[in-house]
Amino acid sequence: MDDKQRYEQGMAVRRKVLGDAHVDRTLKNLSPLNEEFQDFITRYAWGETWTRPGLDHHTRSMITIAMLIALNREAELKMHLRAAFNNGVTRDELKELIMHSALYCGLPAANATLHLAQQVFSEMDAESAA
């Protein structure tokens, strides 16, 4: 697969997982500073890693969220909490993942994630009610 095919495959997965609105916002905000980085993310994160056989997108979402909790990466975590629903992850599964992370990532990390998840759920509920 060449870079163009990898980019196209990555963009398809990126849109499926993160949603068109998020990806369109990102593309609208391309600049000389970030355009190569965005291309890199699309080709390698989405076109290489998220398309590998062996793990479905549901499982990849759960793993990604767990790692982001452990690394305390709030912006990426918020994005992936929201995106997880595109991969069939349920609120109950996220609750269990956060509970499990308390043991391995620490109570402060799990507590911060519970607050962040509640914020994401409230935003999503408000959007669906509108």
pTM: 0.92
How many structural domains does the chain have? 2
Same domain, 86 and 45: no
What is the band of 100 on the pLDDT scale with cuts at 50, 70, 90?
A: very high
In 19-90, which residue ranges form alpha helices assigned H by DSSP? 20-28, 35-40, 57-71, 74-83
Q: Could you give the CA distance from residue 51 to residue 91 in angstroms, rounded to a whole number?
A: 24
38 and 61 belong to one structural domain? no
Average pLDDT, the chain: 96
Residue-range definition of the domain harbouring residue 122: 55-129
Q: Are residue 21 and residue 85 in the same domain, yes or no?
A: no
Domain identity same for 2 and 43? yes
Scanning the structure block, which residue is given the tokens 């759960």? 62
109-123 residues labelled b (16+ CB within 10 A) or e (exposed): bbebbbebbeebeee
